[in-house]
């Protein structure tokens, strides 16, 4: 492990520090700042020639700032002659712009992947990409992690009555994810039938599958952004008699009216990982933040040792 170096951008330094503690390694020394005109300055404060370097930098809001910071750091390490450079991106911004769903629009997820590759990244380590096919947008190897074990272990540790549990998919797009959680937890699955009224408004109507009446409902998603979908689905299953509702997501983006919606929604608990740092003004009393440091740290160790990452999930 002597050749392994872990550095962090400014997006989520606490997560990088937790990864280093897990691996029993010191954090790499790097100076990041801003010139008077707002340009990003970067200087690596230790020798990285011939080292296996990992840069921890989720591209969370402000997305463009953190992407540019990542690109500048990658260029710095390539010019400092690092042996191999892995961009550790726990949350990948622009992931929802992964296809042309209308005429004359960009595929920005591919553009960002091109930028990271051309800047000099040799590998990418990501977690719960919004669309799995984004792995193919990169022209370098991508290791894709899932936070499902972290979330499932948390609910199992709560000792909730197993015969009263049901996993609920908030919409058709989350059925596959919800089915995976239901299978691993060995509980039934219900699906909220959501009808879209307009581009800004959705209306959730019916519950399909297992009954939620008198049950504890677990709702899983890859991210909570404006919280519109998951909150409207929670209202539906609450109206259908669910006695307790928990929401779980890997990425707590929480933008726009998300906090107000989560406050008003009938959630007994909301579970997120620390892929994105949770600001103090977003720390609701019923929000629990789980650490993904051990998951990312184990993956980093395996990549460094040229071992299988997929074995972590078998």
Question: What are 85-139's pLDDT values in tens digits?
Answer: 999 999 999 999 999 999 999 999 999 999 999 999 999 999 999 999 999 999 9
Residue 110 and residue 273: Cα distance in Å, rounded?
A: 25
| Burial class for 131, CB neighbours closer than 10 Å (0-12, 13-18, 19+) | middle
Find out whether 57 and 69 touch, Cβ atoms under 8 Å.
yes
pLDDT digits 0-9 by tens, 213-262: 999 999 999 999 999 989 999 999 999 999 999 999 999 999 999 999 99
pLDDT digits 0-9 by tens, 266-304: 999 999 999 999 999 898 999 999 999 999 999 999 999
Q: Is 50 left (phi over 0), alpha (psi -120 to 50) or beta?
A: left
Q: Is 246 left (phi over 0), alpha (psi -120 to 50) or beta?
A: beta
pLDDT digits 0-9 by tens, 49-89: 999 999 999 999 999 999 999 999 999 999 999 999 999 99
pTM for the whole thing?
A: 0.94
Q: Which of 30, 2, 34, 3 is nearest to 16 (CA)?
A: 30
Task: Give the CA dihedral 169, 230, 60, 21, nearest 10 degrees.
Answer: -60
Residue 142 and residue 85: Cα distance in Å, rounded?
A: 12
Residue 194: band (very low, low, confident or very high) from pLDDT cuts 50, 70, 90? low
| Burial class for 306, CB neighbours closer than 10 Å (0-12, 13-18, 19+) | exposed
Q: How many CB atoms lie within 10 A of CB 273?
A: 28
pLDDT digits 0-9 by tens, 129-182: 999 999 999 999 999 999 999 999 999 999 999 999 999 999 888 999 999 999
Residue 267 and residue 231: Cα distance in Å, rounded?
A: 9
Residue 201: band (very low, low, confident or very high) from pLDDT cuts 50, 70, 90? low
Helices (H) and strands (E) in the chain, counts: 8, 14
Q: 126: Cβ–Cβ under 8 A, 6 or more apart, which residues?
A: 89, 90, 92, 134, 135, 142, 143, 144, 145
Residue 126 and residue 90: Cα distance in Å, rounded?
A: 5
pLDDT over 70 (residue 198) = no
Backbone angles phi, psi at 157, to 5 degrees: -75, -15
Check 194, 215, 268, 301 and give the catalytic one.
Answer: 194
State the chain's mean pLDDT as an integer: 95
Residue 173: the pLDDT is: 85
Residue 255 and residue 278: Cα distance in Å, rounded?
A: 11
Residue 171: the pLDDT is: 86
**Tokens encoding 107:** 């595929």
Mean pLDDT of 17-43: 98
Residue 202: band (very low, low, confident or very high) from pLDDT cuts 50, 70, 90? low
SS3 of 209, please?
strand
Question: What domains are there in the chain, each with its CATH number?
Answer: 4-146+293-313 (3.40.50.2020), 148-290 (3.40.50.2020)
Find out whether 86 and 47 touch, Cβ atoms under 8 Å.
no
Find out whether 116 and 83 touch, Cβ atoms under 8 Å.
no
Active site residue 110: no
User: How many CA atoms are closer than 13 Å to the CA of 214, on its beta-carbon side?
Assistant: 2
Residue 197: the pLDDT is: 58
């Amino acid at each position: 492990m002597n050749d392994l170096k872990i550095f962090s951008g400014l997006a989520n330094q606490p997560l990088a520090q937790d990864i280093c503690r897990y691996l029993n390694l010191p954090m790499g020394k790097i100076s990041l700042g801003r010139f008077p005109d707002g340009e990003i300055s970067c200087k690596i404060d230790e020798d990285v020639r011939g080292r296996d370097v990992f840069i921890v930098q989720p591209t969370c809001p402000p997305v463009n700032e953190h992407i540019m910071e990542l690109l500048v750091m990658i260029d710095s390490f390539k010019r400092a002659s690092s042996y191999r450079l892995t961009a550790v991106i726990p949350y990948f911004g622009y992931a929802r712009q992964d296809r042309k769903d209308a005429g004359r629009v960009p595929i920005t997820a591919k553009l960002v992947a091109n930028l990271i590759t051309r800047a000099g990244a040799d590998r990418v380590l990501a977690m719960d990409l919004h669309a799995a096919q984004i792995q193919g947008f990169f022209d370098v190897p991508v290791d894709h992690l899932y936070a499902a074990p972290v979330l499932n272990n948390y609910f199992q540790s709560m000792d909730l009555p197993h015969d009263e549990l049901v996993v609920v998919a908030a919409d058709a797009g989350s059925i596959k994810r919800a089915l995976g959680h239901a299978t691993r937890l060995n509980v039934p699955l219900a699906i909220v039938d959501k009808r879209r009224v307009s581009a800004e408004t959705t209306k959730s109507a019916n519950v399909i599958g297992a009954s939620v009446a008198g049950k504890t409902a677990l709702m899983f998603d890859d991210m909570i952004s404006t919280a519109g979908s998951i909150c409207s689905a929670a209202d539906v299953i609450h109206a259908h008699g669910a006695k307790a509702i928990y929401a779980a997501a890997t990425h707590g983006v929480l933008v726009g009216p998300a906090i107000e919606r989560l406050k008003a929604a009938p959630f007994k608990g909301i579970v997120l990982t620390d892929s994105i740092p949770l600001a103090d003004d977003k720390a609701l009393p019923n929000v629990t933040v789980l650490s993904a440091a051990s998951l990312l740290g184990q993956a980093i160790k395996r990549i460094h040792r040229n071992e299988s990452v997929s074995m972590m999930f078998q």
